[in-house]
Amino acid sequence: MVVMKRNLFPIFLLLAVFFSGLPAAGESSGPEYPEVDTAISSPLPERDYSWMQDIRKEHPRMFLTAEDIPQIRKTAATFENGTYLSMKKRIDGLIGTPVTFPDSLAATGESNRNHEWGYRASEAAMLYLITGDPVYLVFTKYVLRELTAYYQLRIDNNLNISWYVFSQICALCAYDWIYNDLSPAERDELGKSLYRAMYGIAWHGGGVRKARFRENVSDFRSGCYGTAILPWYLGLTFYGDGVDDGACREMVMKGYDLHQKMVAFRASMIGEKGGGVTACAQYTLGYYPYAEYDFIYTFMSATGIDITEKMDYLLGLLTYMDWVMLPGNREYGFGDVHHYNCLLPHRDMNAHLSELANLFGPTHPEIIPVVQRMGKSLTERRPYDGIPFLRLLHKFDPGAMKTKASARNVTAEQSIYFDTMGQLYMRSGTGEDDTYALFVSGGVPTQHKHYDNNNFIVYKHGYRAVDSGTRPEPGLHLTHYYCRTVAHNCITIRMPGEQFPEYWGGPAANEPKDVPIPNDGGQRELLASKIMQYDETPEYVYIASDATGSYHEDKARLVMREFIWFKPDLFLVFDRVESTRAEYPKAWLFHTVAEPEMITDMEWRETSDGGATVCRTLFPEDAVLEKIGGEGKDFWSDGRNWPLPVLTPDDYGYSKRHIIPPPDHPQIGHWRVEVKPGKPSGKDYFMNIFQVGDTSLKRLPETPVFEDESSMGVSFVYGKHRYTVTFDKDKDYGCDIKTERK
């Protein structure tokens, strides 16, 4: 567990309050964030730009200075020699060949790799700094000239460069790093044309110019990797060089303000224990953190002011990264992720580990054992990182660091609640044979979140309780099934005629338009749930969570779930569900990868991926269990199936990220068990017990139940203890767990 020391700019927290209610712009990939609730209400202080007097006049000053070059050479020759040699191989293979830009007027820059010449320019310039070989200088100038012409062509036609602005930042770095070796005429010719092109790419606010198709102008509450951040880098590159000093000064100030807002917001999203920008791991642990690294590096290189301790909230990102991992670099599948293989963005996480260790390892040595332990799993790298030269700026190898702390395989805590993320993680350890569980409740961000409050996901030798479906884009499967409550391990209450809110996305080209959202009986609010009680003992973790507000008030009076994990692999789930009308059907859902095998009318077993689940319904005593799934009913909701779409070339459009798994792919889940009361009632109690393990798991412990007017419960022997669990029926939640040694 990483211990975080909070030491933030006061203005960051103030800005978090001030800007939390502003509408987000840019990315159309999901609902926006709600207001961030804090207790700070002081007025904003005047902006302080006194640090601008420290901006160095000389070049280089983007990410590095002349004083850093000896260390860069040392790093390239030692622990990042692989990064250096890969970079050298790429550039050496390009020297002597023409720089070309096929399909230069494509509708969007992501449809080809032309923008990557920005990366190559920075790599060539970096090689020149390291080796001093003029061949790399000549090639850098050549690439920058051709790249600038390409930029200008697309600007003149009001076309974007790329969804991400990283390659354009790298092009600016290349110019900055070779600045001292350019003649005055080259600075005038190359510098002014590059500045003009970059100014046309950068987003300077609404009304300044027309927006562009697939232009990412995401604000500080999103990725911060679009054209809105480019003014910061453009202004710093040309600051005081006489190209456009007034505009550069203004861009630096506005860029600083935007990054202040970003840092304020991201600091607030870290919460008490850790977290990220959104609870959807492929975003938070993908490209999002580069915005912070890039800001830290460029602020320090341009001004000489070290701001790492002012941004040490980033240590909470490491804690979150640690807990969200499953064996094999998998993730739980929360939110809008692709369930093709459920892989985390582990190659990006490899880079994040390296950056966090480099920036914070010297002052926070307690993170190094965590970095080392996680690094054993995250061994795979991208061919080059989001910013391909960052690792060469590092001063030490975290894998070789010696610390007094122990890199234990199991942390002291076996559960953690990330309050801003609305996720409570549980794990018996961090090994291949351990049990992992996620419970969903509370949280702040709605971006990429589903209608899944009180959902649970369990992993042991594969996904035992799975989030079903996947993310085709486009496709009705996403909007009409995947994001809906029915796709999760939740409670449904079906009120006839209920209309549900829309979700982002739309139909594929060969699917009908304007198809009504199905009435799955589920939730209509993305948030509106709350952890009421959370306790951990050496034997169990107890959670009580109220999701009533997630459902339509006309159908639900109470939806309360009590979730108990008996360590290491037994679970008891108790739901109190009260509807406004007895005739509204209720159901308890459990999704599986493979078809469950019914053992009795009240018990079933499922095996897949080398693991097994056995589940028994204890209440209602007259419960009816129904298997739903298989071909033609695997994504069943409101009387019909919502299959994965058959995509056509018209659906691929701008990106291959639309590619979806084959319809029979196991990790998207094809079966569920629904538990329904035998007769209508306004108030129902669901009690289900299940165990997970390898394929040798065949049966559950004996589970005698009891009930009277005020309580109900179950007793069983598990491990070295006899447990008696009693739920108070007169309360919205309340549980007494008696533990006796056998």
| Residues 275-307: tens digit of each pLDDT | 999 999 989 999 999 999 999 999 999 999 999
pLDDT band at 474 (very low <50, low <70, confident <90, very high): confident
Does the pLDDT at position 37 exceed 90? no
Residue 380 pLDDT greater than 60, yes or no: yes
- Residue 342: pLDDT band (50, 70, 90) is confident
Say what the pTM is: 0.90
pLDDT in tens, 261-280: 999 999 999 999 999 999 99
Domains and CATH numbers, the chain: 10-18+65-400 (1.50.10.100), 415-700 (2.70.98.70)
Instruction: pLDDT band for 34, please (50, 70, 90 cuts).
Output: very low
Mean pLDDT (whole number) for 33-42: 29
Phi-psi bin for 451: left (phi > 0), alpha (psi -120 to 50), beta?
A: beta
End-to-end Cα, the chain, rounded Å: 33
Question: CB count, 10 Å around CB of 46?
Answer: 6
Confidence of residue 658 (pLDDT cuts 50, 70, 90): low
505-532 pLDDT, tens per residue? 999 989 999 999 999 999 999 999 999 9
- Using 50, 70 and 90 to split pLDDT, how confident is the model at 649? low
- At 652 the pLDDT is 55
Cα 247 from chain centroid (whole Å): 35
Q: Is it the case that residue 318 has pLDDT exceeding 70?
A: yes
Specify the long-range contacts of residues 455-458, CB closer than 8 Å, at least 24 apart. 455/488, 455/489, 455/490, 456/489, 456/563, 456/571, 456/573, 457/332, 457/333, 457/334, 457/489, 458/571, 458/613, 458/692
For residues 271 and 288, what is the distance between their CA atoms, to the nearest angstrom?
17
Average pLDDT over residues 461-470: 96
Report the pLDDT averaged over residues 225-237.
97
Q: For residue 409, what pLDDT is reported?
A: 39
Residue of 683 and 34 predicted with greater confidence = 683
Give the rounded distance of the alpha carbon of 473 from its chain centre: 18
Task: Reply yes or no on whether the pLDDT at 648 is more than 60.
Answer: yes
pLDDT of residue 736: 98
CA distance linking residue 645 with residue 632, whole number of Å: 13
**pLDDT-based confidence at residue 630 (cuts at 50, 70, 90):** very high
Q: What is the pLDDT of residues 709-724, one digit of tens each?
A: 999 999 999 999 999 9
3-class SS string, 606-650: EEECCEEEEEEEEECCCCEEEEEECCCCCCEECCEECCCCCCCHH
Asked if pLDDT for residue 7 goes beyond 80, the answer is no
The reported pLDDT for the residue numbered 8 is 38
Q: Convert the pLDDT of each residue in 529-559 to its tens digit.
A: 999 999 999 999 999 999 999 999 999 999 9
Bridge partners (DSSP) listed for residue 168: none
pLDDT the model gives residue 659:
63
What's the average model confidence in pLDDT over 203-213? 92
The DSSP call for residue 483 is: T
Q: What is the mean pLDDT of residues 368-372?
A: 93
Q: 401-405, 569-573, 642-646, 685-689 — which is least confidently predicted?
A: 401-405
Q: Please give the pLDDT value at position 338.
A: 86
> How many other C-beta atoms can be found within 10 angstroms of the C-beta atom of residue 565?
27
Q: Give the pLDDT band of residue 6 (cuts 50, 70, 90).
A: very low
Chain-wide mean pLDDT for the chain? 90
- Give the per-residue pLDDT at 9: 37
Q: What value does the mean pLDDT take over residues 645-655?
A: 65
Instruction: Report the interhelical angle of 290-303 vs 245-270 (nearest 10°).
Output: 130
pLDDT at 28 over 50: no
